Amino acid sequence: MVTTLLVAVIALALIFDYTNGFHDAANSIATIVSTKVLTPFQAVLLAAVFNFAAYFFIKDHKVANTVAKIVHEEFITLHVILAGLIAAITWNLTTWWFGIPSSSSHTLIGGFAGAGITNAILLGASGFSAVNAHYILTIIAYIVLAPFIGLFIAYFITIMILHLCKRAKPVTAERWFKRLQLVSAAALSFAHGTNDAQKVMGILYVALVASKIINSGSPMPEWIPLACYSAISLGTMSGGWKIVKTMGSKITKITPLEGVAAETAGAITLFITERLAIPVSTTHTITGSIIGVGLTKRVSAVRWGVTINLVWAWIITIPISALIAGLVFMLVRHW
């Protein structure tokens, strides 16, 4: 049954996807803007187009299925979903305002899980009985693993490129890497779409199940992927310039060669995790990749003070989002 609450949940889910787009635009465009290969407007247009292009290629929605299973069905209500979305949007806007490249993926997952745990406690059950431990532990593991995977792939790609191009003229090489960065940035934007847009698909799917509009296990209605890819692409068009500055210049100095390596490594990591149905953070992945290219020069080329601050933001994202969602759920559960 379509209710006002369901309409509000759908609207908030798409608003979150929009904020995800402009929050995470920096992941796709920071290096290509900092190397001046494209202007900021050209870069966000490229990112938005390839974010949406993923809609035409990804049809199995494995990541969406994972997100849909984070909270056990008996503890999911529209109020749980509403509280999780409000918490996720709040944290996304807060970190965007301060220019902190935190994970939109993890704030959504933390908010959803936190509201579900609170609902279970208020129903007299164990809080952790509300969540699927396997999926939660896998997501937590990849908070650590994804940046390191990106780091190692970027490091080896950079070393390989330097070895292959050691006889090339610097001017010629830079011209070619500026062209190649268009390809690597497009690949990263496409990979971002394949992973990030699916997370809200999972949320909308369980909202329809909770409203008894569809049955659990039914195919996903086609309007959900179309709406989610549209929202995240429009958000990407809005850009996230404060985070672009952090990602593109504060971690380490980026050249076109290093931009190609970091973006390629980030895209490879996201493609792998999408196939494994793991909702990883694009932010964590590209940050690790940028650190990886910095390490090929020397350890001191990475600004570790900035990096440590980012890690702290990553650590607190899920628990703070869960706490906010729990508090919001207690306020809205009787609406």
The DSSP symbol for 131 reads B
Residue 93 identity (one-letter amino acid): L
Burial class of residue 253 in the structure, from the number of CB atoms within 10 Å of its CB (0-12 exposed, 13-18 middle, 19+ buried): middle
pLDDT score, position 100:
72
pLDDT score, position 109:
92
Q: The tokens 């600004």 sit on which residue?
A: 303
pLDDT > 90? residue 226? yes
Cite the DSSP H helix spans in the chain.
Answer: 4-34, 40-53, 62-68, 78-97, 104-122, 133-164, 170-210, 223-238, 241-245, 256-275, 282-295, 304-332
pLDDT > 50? residue 248? no
Residue 77 identity (one-letter amino acid): T
Furthest-apart CA atoms within the chain: distance in Å: 70
Nearest in space to 260 (alpha carbons), one of 249, 268, 270, 250: 268
Range of the structural domain that residue 24 is part of:
4-332
Instruction: Report residue 249's pLDDT band, with 50, 70 and 90 as the boundaries.
Output: very low
Position with higher pLDDT, 240 vs 91: 91
Handedness of CA 165, 168, 174, 175 (dihedral sign): negative
Model pLDDT for residues 42-79, shown as the tens digit of each residue:
888 888 899 999 999 988 889 999 999 999 999 999 99
pLDDT score, position 79:
96
* Number of structural domains found in the chain: 1
Cα separation, 160 vs 175, in Å, equals: 18
pTM: 0.87
Between helices 4-34 and 223-238, what is the axis angle to 10°?
Answer: 50
Position with higher pLDDT, 299 vs 204: 204
pLDDT > 90? residue 112? yes
Model pLDDT for residues 171-220, shown as the tens digit of each residue:
888 888 888 988 998 998 899 888 888 999 999 999 999 999 999 889 99
Cα separation, 231 vs 122, in Å, equals: 34
Nearest in space to 210 (alpha carbons), one of 75, 329, 70: 75
pLDDT score, position 139:
85
pLDDT score, position 172:
84
User: Is residue 232 within 8 Å of 51, Cβ to Cβ?
Assistant: yes
Integer angstrom CA distances of residue 84 from 8, 112, 153? 13, 4, 34
Q: pLDDT averaged over the chain?
A: 86
